[in-house]
């Protein structure tokens, strides 16, 4: 997400989208690590890795199709959807 700075600055001019994405990713990664520490003994490694892959792939495909290909949503809605997608991918990748 964050490496597409030019795209996001053109899509959301005058906003702090890259900073917001960074903050959301770091905050959600913190909570994901805390949850992972709690679940490490109860859920197998294979299940956790599979869950992370599925969540990340589904979320990234949703953003790709709805935001980049079809541009379903308006600017303010897509701003929020992108931040939610960053949060979900952060949980899936952590």
Tally the residues of the chain. Answer: 94
Half-sphere exposure of 84 (CA within 13 A, CB side): 10
Range of the domain at 89: 5-93
Q: Are 59 and 82 in contact (CB under 8 A)?
A: no
Instruction: Write out pLDDT tens, residues 30-52.
Output: 999 999 999 898 999 999 999 99
Written as six digits, the tokens of 81 are: 């959807």
d(C-alpha 73, C-alpha 28), whole Å: 24
Confidence (pLDDT) at 21: 95
Confidence (pLDDT) at 1: 57
- Using alpha carbons only, give the angle 66, 67, 70 rounded to the nearest 5 degrees: 60
Structural domain count of the chain: 1
For residue 47, give Cα distances in angstroms to 5, 16, 53.
Answer: 33, 36, 10
Over 70: is that where the pLDDT of 93 sits?
Answer: yes
Q: Are 61 and 28 in contact (CB under 8 A)?
A: no
| Confidence bin at 79 (pLDDT 50/70/90) | very high
Instruction: Write out pLDDT tens, residues 1-35.
Output: 557 889 999 999 999 999 999 999 999 999 999 99
């Amino acid at each position: 997400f964050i490496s597409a700075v030019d795209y996001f600055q053109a899509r959301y001019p005058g906003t702090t989208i890259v900073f917001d994405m960074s903050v959301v990713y770091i905050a959600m990664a913190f909570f994901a690590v805390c949850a992972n520490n709690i679940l490490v003994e109860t859920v197998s490694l294979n299940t956790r890795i599979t869950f992370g892959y599925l969540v990340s792939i589904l979320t990234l495909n949703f953003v790709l199709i709805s935001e980049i290909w079809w541009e379903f949503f308006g600017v303010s809605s897509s701003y929020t959807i992108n931040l939610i997608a960053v949060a979900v991918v952060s949980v899936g990748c952590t």
